Chain A
Amino acid sequence: MDSTVTTSTEESVWGGGNQPLGASYGKLMMWFFIVSDALTFSGFLASYGFSRFKFIETWPIADEVFTHVPFFHGNFPMYYVAFMTFILIMSSVTMVLAVDAGHKMMKNKAIIYMFLTIIGGAIFVGSQAWEWATFIKGDYGAIETRGGRILQFVQADTGERAALADFAKTIPSERVDHEMRNGVWFYKGEALPSYSLNEVTEGLKSNPNILIRTETINSEGEKTLLTREQSLAKIKDGKLVVEGANLIRNEYGSRLFADFFFFITGFHGFHVFSGVVINIIIFFNIILGTYERRGHYEMVEKVGLYWHFVDLVWVFVFTFFYLV
């Protein structure tokens, strides 16, 4: 087993230059930062858990929200997030290989592995941006009730979700979006959704195949589906048409869900982005031979610690946001 504390001679205890933890100053400081950053992320995830347990019966089901894969149409729950996870773990591996090559003073190998790590990080950040865009755009649309609950629509025969465009009626109305290019002077108003509440309500009434799905989760772990009569009664509570997501409301369910999504994945995405920037700096330093002249590649190791930490955080975000 390892010894806990080593002080070789009594004289040098006060003489400075001791390394009781066997790690250099820079590496210890990186660990300090990582531990405190881990506590920040834990705070975010724990408060996510708080909100979720508070609304345990109505929280959105993640694999009904994240069902998209770029360039493909259809319902693929979580495939893309799993791919992102794999990319990040893979770039962690190339990072360890770069650190390993640095230990052996193999400059060219370290360059190649650092480059691959940067590419992996860039793919991940790009995927994250795409996820955000899809999330903000939304796909089906929903109705918000006076009490702030979300009502979604389902096709009765197939059991699949119905988009507003599938059944809403088009009723001519005078209300238009107020935009800068239409007039110099106007009152600011809410942006118009694609369909008005009236159009959705009429569409629901005239289309017997459409049912309403509430936020409430039943004992089977699925959202409650109303009958046709209940749906027609429930739509009277409607107040707003919600499409996509913003910080105030979203079509997926609880308002806090989108807020936590933007906040937690955004903060993590920012970490990945800054990690990529730092990796690029180190990459050029290796090419320029800075560490070759310094005699050791410890800088690569320190940046590696940060990069693995970002990966580590994602493992937790993946579990608590997408799986659980």
Chain B
Amino acid sequence: MAHEHKLEIFRGLLKFKSNTQKIWGVLVFLSIVTAVEVALGISKPHILVVNSFLGMKLLNWIFIILTLVKAYYIAWDFMHLRDEKSSLRRAIVWTPIFLVAYLIFILLFEADYIYNVFKDGFVTWDF
């Protein structure tokens, strides 16, 4: 069991007095991020929709990055990975990240290939 809590978030920018206070602080942060996501999802700023990076809209990149930020704070502060030994933390975090990145790479490339087969093939799909 981890007995001491590390009370700093944002790389020491924000330091809390107690663990309870840190939990509420993280909640406020996560709520703000969710609110930003929903606001962007409803307003869909034109500039973020028409421009894309690596075949995906900028808006979707923003969503994915904000999701990873949220995931980080849930894992680090709610699941208290911040207080665990770094060896345990690395084993838990990097194993899935490696496998999932590999899976996503393969599946999305394959899907894009099939999309092109549907599009450029001599078979009509819309009738």
Contacts and interface: CB of A to CB of B under 8 A. Distances in A.
A43 B103 contact: yes
Contacts of B67: 315-316, 318-319
Interface stretch (A93-101, A162-170, A261-269, A280-288): A93-101
A323 B85 contact: no
A86 B33 CA distance: 11
B42 A63 contact: yes
Interface in B58-90: 60, 63-64, 66-67, 70-71, 74-75, 77-79, 84-88
A198 interface: no
Contacts of A216: 126
B64 A39 contact: no
A93 B29 CA distance: 12
Given A21-B87, A22-B2, A82-B38, A315 B31 contact: no
Interface string A63-97: 10000000000000111001001100110110111
The residue in A86, A315, A316 that gathers the most chain B C-beta atoms within 10 A of its C-beta is: A315
Interface string A143-179: 0011101000000000000000000000000000000
Given A311-B74, A319-B67, A97 B96 contact: no
Nearest to B30: A89
Given A46-B103, A308-B79, 7 more contacts: A54-B118, A78-B42, A103-B1, A146-B127, A147-B125, A147-B126, A305-B79
Contact of B64 (A52, A77, A312, A324): A324
A22 B63 contact: no
Nearest to B85: A22
A221 B50 CA distance: 8
Interface string B1-22: 1110000000000000001100
23 contacts: A4-B86, A22-B84, A34-B92, A35-B95, A42-B99, A46-B107, A50-B111, A54-B111, A63-B42, A78-B42, A89-B31, A92-B74, A96-B77, A100-B23, A103-B1, A145-B126, A221-B44, A221-B57, A298-B1, A311-B74, A312-B79, A315-B67, A319-B64
Given A89-B30, A147-B127, A323-B63, A46 B104 contact: yes
Report the contact-size class of chain A (Cβ under 8 Å from the partner). Answer: 35 or more
Given A89-B31, A89-B34, A92-B74, A31 B108 contact: no
Contacts of B19: 100
B9 to A, nearest CB: 14
Sort chain B's interface into a size bin. Answer: 35 or more
Nearest to B61: A324
A103 B80 CA distance: 13
B27 A221 contact: no
A301 interface: yes
B111 A49 contact: yes
Contacts of A309: 79
Interface string A41-60: 01100110111111111000
Interface string B89-127: 001100110011001100110111011001000001111
A97 B64 CA distance: 28
A23 B1 CA distance: 6
B120 to A, nearest CB: 13
A305 B84 CA distance: 13
A21 B85 contact: yes
Kindly list the 5 A-B residue pairs having the minimum CB-CB distance in the complex, ordered from nearest: A53-B111, A147-B127, A319-B67, A50-B107, A21-B88
Contacts of B99: 39, 42
Given A147-B125, A308-B79, A55 B64 contact: no
Interface string B40-58: 0110100001100000010
